Structures are given as structure tokens and as C-alpha cells.
Structure 1
């Protein structure tokens, strides 16, 4: 193994060790009581109607409901 390959592999190993270490630190120091819950908040829900673009629903016109034979 050449010196350049060894340095590259050691650099990759050091980066991975740093990432694993910071993740472990994050989990160990996590305080669930200090954080606001994302699942139990009072934010309003985003409800999408039938005419949301991309929903596949046929667009409604101001003239009224569609009858048979209209496209």
C-alpha cells in the first residue's frame, strides 16, 4: 500500500470516527424535556382540497357542476 493510499484511508477513517462520535454525543446529551414535541403541537394542519394542482381532480368551473358528456 502506497503512502498516498494509506493517508487517504486514514483520513476517511478519521472522518467516519468523527461522525459517529458526534452522533453518539448528540444522543447522550439529548434532553427530551427541553425540546418541543413535533407530534403534539398546536399548529394547524395543512388540508388539501380537491382542486389542489396535481391531485388528479377535475377542475371546477364557475358555471356549475359538470353534466354527463362534458369533458
Structure 2
């Protein structure tokens, strides 16, 4: 591949990437999407999946062995 072909491929990739991002922004409908501030937090999602949360185990204590 020549340098011109590589540059054309890079330009095509950048154009498609920017075009798809612009299309995403233009067609965005805020009324159909849930607000981030109203979305469930990961802790809430975890409790929905697993409502039984176990208490943390006690940290073991180690004593130095003396000889």
C-alpha cells in the first residue's frame, strides 16, 4: 500500500467515526432515556440481584510464636 492509500484509509476511518458520533448526538432523544442521577447505583443493583448481604468476617489475629 502506498502512503496515499494509507492516508485515505485513515481519513475514511476518522470520517466514519466522527459521522457516527454526530449521528448519535443528532438522533438522541432525552425523553426516552433515563437520567443518570435517577439510575440505580451499583450497590442498589447488587442488592436487587442478591438481597442477602453477609456481614464481613472477623479479621484473624496472629500471635508470634516464641521458642
Paired position in structure 1 for 2:43: 46
Structure 2 residues not aligned, in runs of 5+: 45-53
TM-score w.r.t. length of structure 2: 0.58
Per-residue displacement from partner, 1:3-46 (whole Å, max 9, x unpaired)? 611101100011001100110111111010011223213x4651
TM-score w.r.t. length of structure 1: 0.55
**Secondary structure, in 3 states, of the residue corresponding to 1:36?**
coil
Superposed structure 1 runs of 4+ greater than 6 Å apart: none
Give distance in 1, aligned partners of 2:27 and 2:19: 12
Report which of the two has the higher share of helix. 2
Paired position in structure 2 for 1:54: none
Structure 1 residues not aligned, in runs of 5+: 52-58
Give distance in 2, aligned partners of 1:21 and 1:44: 32
